[in-house]
Every structure is written in structure tokens, then in C-alpha cells.
Amino acid sequence: MKGKVAIVTGAAAGIGLATARRFAQDGYTVVSWDVNDGEPPAGGIFQRVDVTSTASVDAAVAQTVQRGGGIHVLVNNAGILRDGQLIKYKDGAVASIMTDEQFNAVIEVNLKGVFTCTRAVVPHMIAGGGGVILNASSLVGLYGNFGQTNYVAAKAGVIGMTKVWARELGKYQIRVNAVAPGFINTDMVKQMPEKILQAAVAHTPLGRMGQPEDVANAYAFLASDQASFITGAVLSVDGGAVAGT
């Protein structure tokens, strides 16, 4: 993949960092985006980018094209959590609700951010003769999850956009796929209550949480020529976890 450029969003830590490193190992020039400080893998570039801001994304894309000459892979990995029940009812009264801020923050990053980054990158992929877009969905985007109305809505929406774009962009030789991780050992997942994490492992047939590298490997495969006839797919990387197990 020497000479090819891959953008990875949310690349300062967790799955994004592991993915940036994996793509660098595969020979890509990796452009790492994040709102937090981070370090790119060897030979790469780090840019402070807010995926919820069209201006920030457009400026970063322009800089990337100017430096590298094109964009061949986009990994839309950036994501946040703001968990809470839609309505928590206790002792005959409403104890708490999911606020507008909780809902909107997650939708802005996890769903609209994917839209904003893809919209900015696609014209350059078309001009370059094709490319690969990889979107971060989630196991919960397929099956739902207690206390995550906002996150599930965003991740299910990502699957929908993936399928639309696979149809729209195939004629330009742009493949679009999603990866649906299960419970992966990242700082974001560790924010969840310990009881829920233990239950997640107990309901995973392989008996463990995944590692960021497990997801990075899936992205690397979907970006490779070995996956040249795969588009519009959702690849689960979840240790076999399914709803109700």
C-alpha cells in the first residue's frame, strides 16, 4: 500500500490508535484525526480535527490532499458515549431522563461526524479513481442496548448510511463497509459500570472482551484488495455475542 493515504478519525486512543498503527504497518501514509492530542504512527501525520465541524473537516481534507496527493481510505472511527435511560422511573416518579445534550452530543459525533467526513473525502476519491470508506457501527446498532438510546440510534444510522453509500458510490469504484465491534477493551468502554462489563463478557461465547487490534485487523482486511468485491457489508467483530445469549 505504499503511496496510499488513509485517514483515521478518533485516532488518539483505543481502536482508532490501533487502526492507525495497523495501516502504517501495511504501508499506508496515515493521517490521524482527533480533537485530543495524539501521536501518529511512524511516517504519519496528526491533525486536530473536530468531526462535528464542517469547516474543521474541510480544512483538514484540503491539507491532506495538498500533502499526500489523494485519499485512498477513510476510517470513520470517532465516537463518544453519553449513556442514560430514556426515562428512569423510581418510587412513583420520574427520577431522570436522557437530556437533549446527551442525545445531541452522541448523534453529532457518532452519526453526523461520519456524514461530514465522508462528504468531504468522497470527491477526492472519485477524482483518484476509487477508494474505501469504513464506518464504525457497533453490536448495539444491530441489537439495541439498555441505557443507550442515543448511541444505538447513531450506530444503527451508520449502518443505514453505509448501505446507501455502497449503492451510490459503487460506480466510482468506492467501496463502503461497516464494522460492528462488540465489547472492546478501550477507555470508552471502561466507562461503563463494572456489572455491565462482566455481564457482557459472560454473554460472549469466546469468553473475553475484544482488543483494539481485533477491530483494526478487520478494518485492514476490508481496506485491502482481498476484499475487493465486498461493499455494503456489516462485519461483526464481537466474539460471537448476540442479543439474549
Q: Hey, what domains does the chain have and what are their CATH numbers?
A: 5-237 (3.40.50.720)
Mean per-residue pLDDT over the chain, rounded: 95
Alpha-carbon distance 72 to 39, whole Å?
21
Active site residue 151: yes
Cα end-to-end distance, the chain, whole Å: 40
pLDDT in tens, 94-147: 999 999 999 999 999 999 999 999 999 999 999 999 999 999 999 999 999 889
- In this prediction the pTM is 0.95
Only one residue has cell 491532506, namely: 64
- In order of 15, 54, 174, the CA distances from 182 in angstroms are 12, 30, 26
pLDDT digits (tens, 9 = 90+) for 84-104: 999 999 999 999 999 999 999
The set of residues, in sequence order, having a beta carbon less than 8 Å from that of 239 and lying 6+ positions away, is 182, 183, 204, 205, 206, 207, 208, 209, 210
The 10s digit of each residue's pLDDT in 147-197 is 999 999 999 999 999 999 999 999 999 999 999 999 899 987 777 788 878
Please pick, among 143, 151, 172, 219, the residue that the annotation labels catalytic.
151
